[in-house]
Structure 1
């Protein structure tokens, strides 16, 4: 019997993943469906329910004690609703209520945003483990994050605290879809790294890869335009990280997501830029590390949220919004 088994859902614009996770972070059962992001809200909900149906069919399901959800946002954890930017049909969608019913109506359900989920995962099992004050980020198609303060996850009232991607780091910069100007995401996300390189004359290699991964490969080979695009992204990330550190005194920033896969192409200029921005005595020792939980971060963070009401793991989120069965 798995006494601490929980169900986890990781909901994004591309896929809906589910898992049964044990108390040590082991993933025992997996299920996945593509996200029908361009279809009706009910169609998306049915995809979530199909993933849950696979999990509930497992012989391990009777040992499940809670359900955790990490969702693309914005989310409203206090209301149990989600309005993901990349799932247009879901606006104030009552996701917690639907999951609660689909899971049998007997289990507590906890909801967090995907950035907060990554912070929970990294603090539990990853690079932020043992740190009481941390910012954990995902840099991919977008830029998101979550905070650990005083040894505990800090999701904020609605579950969106730590959303570093929409800190403005360029007052005269481009308008962001969020309505702001010069946001970290507008400069440092994968699509914008690639766009900037292409606009400045970079051309892909024989494989035709025009994504940030293609730019990273060119940067590793010494292409000056590709290197400059990553330098600019690193500068934006450093400015956002330093601002966060100055505000709340974090001592580590953990960076994951597809863009972090560029390795030293990103982290070397990021650490160099951070020395220019994090200059006050109480943030000067701030470290930056790559995330360790990889593509399972969303599931592991959702599992951490699910167990929060019992707080079996130090530093996991307490009182995260949701519906108790």
Structure 2
């Protein structure tokens, strides 16, 4: 028995067949493209769901798991898009469960990434956007609509810029890859080879280029504020960072750990550990699969 796992990100869609032992087959990843609905259909047909116990979907948000709709900030073509129903039409008769992509990343790390001993895990995806998810006592905490843990839209700078979500000074306006690059360019950074992206910015930061290092310090400070706010509310002990920007490794993690230690006040906040994903780009797929696999179903909002 298997699960078809689907990971809907801001710039790419991925899918795979996952078995209860964690083995993964037919993993495929494609750009979102100009027609995300057509991309989804093509991806599902390519990977297939024959013999699947269910389909687990992790999607960028915001979303409504009760209605089965998604409105990813970075996919303008999808606003209140009926993603769960669209997948049901592609794989008729197979149960479908939906959760946030960062929620699935957190659940995947808890299940397959070596964090099963954690009582309170916060997973954060730092990529085109910034998302988050919570696993509390082994159960994903989704909230009534499925948006619990959406850390990217915690306000960290009340005098900051306008976020695509409509609010001011969200974490995403500072810590997402595109936001980091925009800030660095506005402050004098020139990308090597004319490729101004987060990977080039990380490479320059690792080489000690001052404005690139400041971009990562600024991101670390903002992430630390959001992490500690969440930790104070949910008594978090374990934070896992994933997404493309996390590929910078210690260029991000070293200043982030220092910022967390500096900003932490109450004693229980000092026990926080911050690590990078062990599962890389597969964490969200493992978490999506865990929503529907027998014995690994941890979602209180499983669909049918």
TM-score by length of 2: 0.94
1:120 deviates by 1.2
Q: 2:130 aligns with which of 119, 136, 143?
A: 143
Residue-pair matches, total = 304
Instruction: Describe the shift of the 1:144–1:127 C-alpha distance in structure 2 as closer, same or farther (beyond 3 A).
Output: farther
Bigger-Rg structure (1/2): 1
Confirm whether residue 45 of structure 1 aligns to residue 31 of structure 2: no
Cα contact 2:73–2:164 (8 A) shared by 1: no
- Return 5+ residue gaps in structure 2 as ranges: none
Alpha-carbon separation, structure 2, partners of 1:32 and 1:258: 14
Alpha-carbon separation, structure 1, partners of 2:121 and 2:159: 29
Alpha-carbon separation, structure 1, partners of 2:142 and 2:169: 24
Alpha-carbon separation, structure 2, partners of 1:20 and 1:125: 15
Instruction: Show the counterpart of 2:14.
Output: 17
Equivalent residue of 1:78, what SS? Answer: coil
Instruction: Show the counterpart of 2:157.
Output: 170
Instruction: Show the counterpart of 2:237.
Output: 251
1:193 deviates by 1.5
Cα contact 1:7–1:18 (8 A) shared by 2: yes
Alpha-carbon separation, structure 2, partners of 1:225 and 1:127: 35
Instruction: Describe the shift of the 1:23–1:15 C-alpha distance in structure 2 as closer, same or farther (beyond 3 A).
Output: same
Equivalent residue of 2:184, what SS? Answer: helix
Cα contact 1:132–1:152 (8 A) shared by 2: no
> Which digits, 9 at most, give the CA deviation of each residue in 1:70-97, with x for residues without a partner?
1122111111112222222322222212
Runs of 4+ in structure 1 off by over 4 angstroms are: none
Equivalent residue of 1:66, what SS? Answer: strand
1:321 deviates by 4.6
Map of 1:277-296 to 2, 5 A cutoff? 277-296=263-282
1:136 deviates by 0.3
What do you get for the CA RMSD once the two structures are aligned? 1.7
Instruction: Show the counterpart of 1:27.
Output: 24
Confirm whether residue 78 of structure 1 aligns to residue 66 of structure 2: yes
Instruction: Describe the shift of the 1:199–1:301 C-alpha distance in structure 2 as closer, same or farther (beyond 3 A).
Output: same
Equivalent residue of 1:65, what SS? Answer: strand
1:213 deviates by 1.5
Cα contact 1:220–1:265 (8 A) shared by 2: yes
1:318 deviates by 2.3
Alpha-carbon separation, structure 2, partners of 1:32 and 1:268: 30
Give the stretch that moved more between structures: 230-239 or 115-124: 115-124
Confirm whether residue 198 of structure 1 aligns to residue 185 of structure 2: yes
Equivalent residue of 1:16, what SS? Answer: strand
TM-score by length of 1: 0.88
Q: 2:147 aligns with which of 160, 175, 183?
A: 160
> Which digits, 9 at most, give the CA deviation of each residue in 1:230-251, with x for residues without a partner?
1110000000001100111010
Cα contact 1:80–1:321 (8 A) shared by 2: no
Alpha-carbon separation, structure 2, partners of 1:112 and 1:76: 9
Instruction: Describe the shift of the 1:54–1:215 C-alpha distance in structure 2 as closer, same or farther (beyond 3 A).
Output: closer
- Return 5+ residue gaps in structure 1 as ranges: none
Equivalent residue of 1:193, what SS? Answer: helix
Instruction: Show the counterpart of 2:298.
Output: 317
Instruction: Show the counterpart of 2:222.
Output: 236
1:295 deviates by 1.2
Confirm whether residue 266 of structure 1 aligns to residue 243 of structure 2: no
Alpha-carbon separation, structure 1, partners of 2:37 and 2:213: 42
Give the stretch that moved more between structures: 171-180 or 253-262: 171-180
